[in-house]
Amino acid sequence: MSAQPTPLAIVGVGKIARDQHIPTIAASDAFTLAATVTRHNTLPDVPNYGSIAELVAGQPKVRAIAICTPPRGRIALIRDAVAHGLDILLEKPPAATVTEAEAIVAAIAGSDSVLHVTWHSREAAAVEPARAWLQDRRIARVTVSWREDVRVWHPGQEWIWEPGIGVFDPGINALSILTRILPHPLSLARATLAFPANKAAPIAADLVLDDGTDAAIAVGFDFDQRGPQTWDIAIQTDDGVLTLTAGGSAMAVDGVTQAVPDEPEYARLYARFAELIATRQSDTDLQPFRLVADAYLLGVRREVAAFDWNG
Amino acid sequence: MSAQPTPLAIVGVGKIARDQHIPTIAASDAFTLAATVTRHNTLPDVPNYGSIAELVAGQPKVRAIAICTPPRGRIALIRDAVAHGLDILLEKPPAATVTEAEAIVAAIAGSDSVLHVTWHSREAAAVEPARAWLQDRRIARVTVSWREDVRVWHPGQEWIWEPGIGVFDPGINALSILTRILPHPLSLARATLAFPANKAAPIAADLVLDDGTDAAIAVGFDFDQRGPQTWDIAIQTDDGVLTLTAGGSAMAVDGVTQAVPDEPEYARLYARFAELIATRQSDTDLQPFRLVADAYLLGVRREVAAFDWNG
């Protein structure tokens, strides 16, 4: 970590910026919040600009941005940031379409900017220990169970039902963990998607993934889960059963809880961004997003009961 | 063109191999058909092998393959071909999923093999003339109308209704032309997909594309078109109207037919493959496939009447 914190601007000041990015940067030795770029939600005592060009003109010391805008239209922000040599942290999901996501990565290749395509769930405390534990084991069966009540976690947020989102908003977090901890690359074998009669995005999804071995990999996402809420992954190997619970923050082997480091996801995320900046490396992994696109592409659709926020 | 034709093997001997690849290779100075790799449909007087490893062992002179298998599972063939230093022509679509398509391109990067991700409609006679004509014009409006009767063109072929296919089987040809002739890269703004009540793939689709300018780009695909069948693209510019008809094989400007070269698509396709081999360059453009995936990802679905082959 350098002695001098990097002056950073947040682009897009919505819920995720307020809940996670702003407090994390405030607690970080590696970054200071120098400015925002937003049309609506300015912060008291933080200079705000209407565009990246205005940001660079007004705050030439800013070296990095964190993009927290909705996924649509980020490629234009990325091109502006690259043109001004800024380093970029990208909140998940990276883009609204596969074309835009690949264009973002292509815009970075050969540029002077560092790009961190982030997946905050990969920073959950048990993810790296799980990855290390799995590395040399043969995997027989993987079961992902990501089941939550959208009424509780996204009350009244209609954007969650826009095309391409739905239950994949939390589901992509599970896929980001899975693609990180399993030793072989994953592809989609088949999927079924359940669309509420009155919504353009799925409320539930079942995916079967293939890692090129005989492992059976079943992924279940549900946005209509009453009672216990689960963000769990169970992995049966030739040498024990690994269980990741609470979104990857806790871990057990054969039922025995394992000690894991105690650090919040976004603290680790920003520490990783600082490391990428220091070493001038980008991390542009799009695997989780591609798997979501593949689930939409190959998923067999069925219609289920209309969704009701008060149902 | 080298004096010595390149010995080539066809992998997957189905309808497209018989209709196009075999007669094209027979008429080509650049290639000879040295072998096939298929489990079922061998050709008289052409040696056949069960795998690429067996092909290489039995026919060490073979330098190239044309992959004409169904899209699922091609990544394994690509890896085998790369391991043996073979050059590869890939029939469209490149893969069944975005993940596999990107893995195919990644497998080629840094290898000794040439990969030609082909889009046969790009070889239609008027495509390059249209591209040249459009290059310096400002585009105001693009209308794609790809409307055919699936009962006529794919009689009884149930594979056409597998998830991820449907009307995008011909539609991806239109997208391959559009992404070639328009001067700016395209992304998907929005889409609607019409699914027959009894099928897992769309029978019709309407796409709105965005090229980063004010151009209005509307794409209509229909698989249930009775009467006139159309594979047409009309482009209104600041300096005349271009019309591509008959799948890109004919062209008019302001209603006046333009002369275009008279050469079949697959003859041009194999000539281009020979050129890529001679210059050791790959052509791995996945844009049309990504736009299809984006249409599935963002497309708003509506259910339409059940499809009947005899309807």
What would the pLDDT profile of A125-180 be if each residue is shown by its tens digit? 999 999 999 999 999 999 999 999 999 999 999 999 999 999 999 999 999 999 99
* Per-residue pLDDT tens digits for B22-43: 999 999 999 999 999 999 889 9
* Per-residue pLDDT tens digits for A41-66: 899 999 999 999 999 999 999 999 99
Nearest to A291 among B99, B294, B300 (CB): B99
Nearest to A298 among B164, B186, B298 (CB): B164
CA-CA-CA-CA torsion sign (A93, B300, B170, B189) = negative
* Per-residue pLDDT tens digits for A74-98: 999 999 999 999 999 999 999 999 9
Contact list, A287 vs chain B (CB under 8 Å): 99
In the predicted structure, residue B1 carries a pLDDT above the cut 60: no
* Per-residue pLDDT tens digits for B178-208: 999 999 999 999 999 999 999 999 999 999 9
**Taking an 8 Å Cβ-Cβ cutoff, which residues of chain B contact chain A?**
75, 96-100, 102-103, 163-164, 185-188, 190, 195, 200, 286-287, 290-294, 296-301, 303
pLDDT score at B230: 97
pLDDT band at residue B106 using 50, 70 and 90 as cut-offs = very high
Mean pLDDT on B88-111: 97
pLDDT band at residue A40 using 50, 70 and 90 as cut-offs = confident
* Per-residue pLDDT tens digits for A110-120: 899 999 999 99
Look at A296 and B301 and tell me if their CB atoms are within 8 Å: no
A92 is catalytic: yes
The answer for A33, left when phi > 0, alpha when psi is -120 to 50, beta otherwise, is beta
Residue B84 burial (CB count, 10 A) = 18
pLDDT band at residue B293 using 50, 70 and 90 as cut-offs = very high
**Which of the following is catalytic: A15, A61, A92, A199?**
A92
Mean pLDDT of chain B: 96
Residue that the structure tokens 């062209």 belong to: B251
In the predicted structure, residue A37 carries a pLDDT above the cut 90: yes
In the predicted structure, residue A1 carries a pLDDT above the cut 60: no
Question: CA angle A114-A288-A33, nearest 5°?
Answer: 40
Give helix then strand counts, H and E, for chain B.
10, 15
- DSSP letter (8 states) at residue B57: H
- Substitution target from A99, A198, A289 for chain B, most B beta carbons within 10 A: A99
Domains contained in chain B, CATH given: 6-117 (3.40.50.720), 124-259+293-304 (3.30.360.10)
The order of strands in the sheet holding A64-67 is A48-49, A31-37, A6-11, A64-67, A87-90, A115-117
Mean pLDDT of chain A: 96
How many CB pairs below 8 Å do chains A and B form together? 86
* Per-residue pLDDT tens digits for B119-151: 999 999 999 999 999 999 999 999 999 999 999
* Per-residue pLDDT tens digits for A234-259: 999 999 999 999 999 999 999 999 99
Residue that the structure tokens 């994949």 belong to: A168
Contact list, B185 vs chain A (CB under 8 Å): 99, 103
pLDDT score at B3: 66
ipTM exceeding 0.85?
A: yes
pLDDT band at residue A3 using 50, 70 and 90 as cut-offs = low
Q: Is B98 in contact with B290 (CB distance < 8 Å)?
A: yes
Nearest to B300 among A99, A185, A200 (CB): A200
The order of strands in the sheet holding B216-222 is B256-257, B250-253, B240-245, B230-237, B139-147, B216-222, B204-210, B187-196, B300-304
